[in-house]
């Protein structure tokens, strides 16, 4: 048996950085290096159906324990790629044994230290063994922690027949960090009724609430004249756009919001007197107030078009995705089991309201209800990323506990 830690240390040394702006999946061929390794490791532990498809997605499934064939098939999903915020090449993980609660020198030459003054969560890990970077790369716990935990679970289930479970489905995806992780995810190859992405942070955190999201593309048609003879004739598109913006609630803005607070966000604007345009995104966890925000935009636009003439403001308002909670609520067992699995390990579950969308959110609306589980990692996408060995192993038990709970329904 290999521990999740041993697996993790091996996987992070394979560069799997994805690249935005590519129109192919995977966006980088090197992601398949890890995919191939995972397939061969799955086959080595006896899961002979494991395979990688042409786009680098890995699928595998474990049959139910004898007598447990009626238990619903539960899936676990993690992504193989790492963020392009910091290099993921030549990752040299360091292990700090029995962390003493003080500063960790990541890199003497670069004078980089990981300090609980800046990252107070470190204090939770006093006495544990921490895996950190050498300060020149990210670590890749996002989401190779999830991969290692699922792989260790797979080995545990194949070597210990006393752990009863229903059918288990495994999926490893490329390109999550560039927003295409589920574009080509094959729900029928995967074959689960429910799934969990294993892609969160602190142990105890569960993610099943995302934003409701819409995009607004606004065009303002002005009338340009010589400024010397503009009286009564000119309609300055730029000023009209500013007028629109000034009618939105000032503090419902990403700069002033957190937790469950929604917003209007001006993402881009350009123009001249003749024509101006702006792109906004609208976000709210609550569906009713999400709809009210869009209604408010429509009312402002109607008022301005009455004031300046029909057609002055043209708008395209489109929904992008919805809060996965509305799907998860119909399958609350997913959350009950995850919470109980965490409590058994001594963690008090907390729902962290995700201020964005997730792959699981998209999967939920594609018909695969899919909340997000914690992996134990911290400070994703950067040099200060870390995870404790003990967290990696506990997360494996969390996954095992979840499967056990499904057999007891």
Residues with a known catalytic role:
81, 176
Which is nearer to Zn ion, 195 or 216 (by Cβ)?
195
Kindly state the smallest distance separating residue 143's Cβ from Zn ion, in Å. Answer: 4
Which is nearer to Zn ion, 165 or 180 (by Cβ)?
180
Distance of CA 268 to the CA centre of its chain: 24
Which is nearer to Zn ion, 153 or 300 (by Cβ)?
153
Using CB under 5 A, which of 15, 199, 252, 339 touches Zn ion?
199
Kindly state the smallest distance separating residue 133's Cβ from Zn ion, in Å. Answer: 16
Span interacting with Zn ion, options 9-17, 129-137, 138-146, 248-256, rule CB under 5 A: 138-146
Measured distance CA(34)–CA(16) in Å, rounded: 7
Which is nearer to Zn ion, 149 or 199 (by Cβ)?
199
Burial of 111 from C-beta contacts in 10 A (0-12 / 13-18 / 19+): exposed
Count of residues in the chain? 409
Kindly state the smallest distance separating residue 376's Cβ from Zn ion, in Å. Answer: 13
Distance of CA 49 to the CA centre of its chain: 27
Contact by Cβ (8 Å): 17, 87: yes
- Which residues does 393 contact at the CB level (< 8 Å), separation at least 6? 3, 4, 5, 152
Span interacting with Zn ion, options 103-111, 193-201, 211-219, 327-335, rule CB under 5 A: 193-201
Span interacting with Zn ion, options 104-112, 198-206, 267-275, 333-341, rule CB under 5 A: 198-206
Which is nearer to Zn ion, 145 or 240 (by Cβ)?
145
Which is nearer to Zn ion, 211 or 280 (by Cβ)?
211
Which is nearer to Zn ion, 16 or 65 (by Cβ)?
16
Hey, which residues between 301 and 340 contact Zn ion (CB under 5 A)?
Answer: none
Span interacting with Zn ion, options 106-114, 164-172, 194-202, 289-297, rule CB under 5 A: 194-202
Look up residue 219 and give its two tokens: 């065009």
Kindly state the smallest distance separating residue 358's Cβ from Zn ion, in Å. Answer: 9
Measured distance CA(321)–CA(125) in Å, rounded: 37
Kindly state the smallest distance separating residue 63's Cβ from Zn ion, in Å. Answer: 29
State the SS3 of 357-389: CCHHHHHHHHCCCCCEEECCCECCCCCCCEEEH
385 touches Zn ion (CB under 5 A):
no
Using CB under 5 A, which of 15, 41, 134, 143 touches Zn ion?
143
As a whole number of Å, the CA-based R_g of the chain is 25
Hey, which residues between 102 and 131 contact Zn ion (CB under 5 A)?
Answer: none
Look up residue 324 and give its two tokens: 């996965």
Hey, which residues between 390 and 409 contact Zn ion (CB under 5 A)?
Answer: none
Stretch 152-191: interaction string toward Zn ion, x if CB under 5 A = ----------------------------------------
142 touches Zn ion (CB under 5 A):
yes
Number of residues that bind Zn ion (CB under 5 A): 3
- Which residues does 333 contact at the CB level (< 8 Å), separation at least 6? 406, 409
Measured distance CA(43)–CA(33) in Å, rounded: 16
Span interacting with Zn ion, options 137-145, 218-226, 236-244, 317-325, rule CB under 5 A: 137-145
Look up residue 342 and give its two tokens: 């965490």
- Which residues does 347 contact at the CB level (< 8 Å), separation at least 6? 203, 204
Kindly state the smallest distance separating residue 264's Cβ from Zn ion, in Å. Answer: 27
Which is nearer to Zn ion, 248 or 354 (by Cβ)?
354
Kindly state the smallest distance separating residue 81's Cβ from Zn ion, in Å. Answer: 9
Strands 313-321 and 212-221: antiparallel
Contact by Cβ (8 Å): 373, 279: no
Distance between first and last Cα of the chain? 30
Kindly state the smallest distance separating residue 79's Cβ from Zn ion, in Å. Answer: 6
State the SS3 of 124-160: HHCCCCEEECCCCCCCCHHHHHHHHHHHHHHHHHHHC
Hey, which residues between 365 and 384 contact Zn ion (CB under 5 A)?
Answer: none
Span interacting with Zn ion, options 125-133, 135-143, 299-307, 395-403, rule CB under 5 A: 135-143
- Which residues does 302 contact at the CB level (< 8 Å), separation at least 6? none
Q: Which residues bind Zn ion (CB under 5 A)?
A: 142-143, 199
């Amino acid at each position: 048996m290999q521990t999740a830690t041993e697996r993790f240390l091996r996987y992070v040394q394979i560069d799997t950085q994805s690249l935005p702006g590519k129109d192919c999946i995977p966006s980088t061929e090197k992601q398949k290096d890890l995919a191939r390794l995972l397939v061969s490791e799955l086959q080595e532990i006896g899961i002979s159906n494991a395979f990688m498809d042409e786009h680098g997605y890995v699928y595998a499934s474990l049959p139910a324990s004898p007598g447990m064939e009626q238990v619903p098939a539960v899936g676990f999903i993690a992504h193989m790629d790492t963020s392009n915020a910091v290099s993921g090449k030549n990752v040299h993980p360091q292990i700090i044994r029995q962390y003493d609660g003080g500063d960790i020198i990541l890199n003497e030459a670069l004078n980089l230290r990981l300090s609980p003054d800046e990252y107070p969560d470190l204090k939770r890990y006093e006495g544990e063994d921490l895996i950190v970077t050498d300060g020149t790369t990210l670590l890749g716990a996002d989401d190779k922690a999830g991969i290692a935990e699922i792989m260790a679970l797979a080995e545990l289930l194949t070597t210990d027949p006393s752990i009863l479970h229903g059918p288990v489905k495994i999926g490893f995806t490329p390109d999550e960090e560039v927003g295409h992780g589920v574009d080509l995810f094959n729900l029928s190859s995967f074959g689960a009724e429910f799934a969990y992405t294993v892609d969160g942070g602190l142990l105890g955190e569960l993610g099943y609430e995302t934003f409701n999201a819409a995009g607004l593309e606004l065009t303002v048609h002005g009338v340009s004249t010589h400024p010397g003879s503009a009286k009564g004739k000119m309609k300055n598109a730029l000023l009209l756009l500013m007028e629109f913006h000034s009618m939105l609630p000032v503090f419902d803005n990403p700069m002033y919001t957190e937790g469950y607070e929604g917003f209007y966000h001006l993402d881009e604007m350009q123009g001249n007197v003749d024509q101006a345009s702006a792109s906004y995104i609208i976000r709210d966890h609550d569906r009713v107030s999400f709809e009210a925000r869009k209604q408010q935009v429509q009312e402002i636009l109607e008022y301005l078009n009455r004031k300046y003439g029909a057609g002055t403001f043209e708008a395209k308002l489109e929904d992008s995705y919805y809060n996965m909670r509305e799907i998860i609520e119909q399958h609350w067992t997913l959350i009950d089991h995850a919470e109980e699995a965490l409590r058994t390990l001594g963690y008090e579950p907390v729902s962290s309201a995700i201020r964005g969308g997730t792959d699981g959110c998209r999967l939920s609306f594609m018909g695969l209800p899919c909340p997000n589980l914690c992996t134990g990692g911290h400070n994703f996408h950067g040099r200060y990323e870390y995870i404790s060995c003990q967290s990696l192993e506990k997360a494996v038990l969390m996954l095992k506990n979840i499967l056990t709970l499904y057999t007891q329904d």
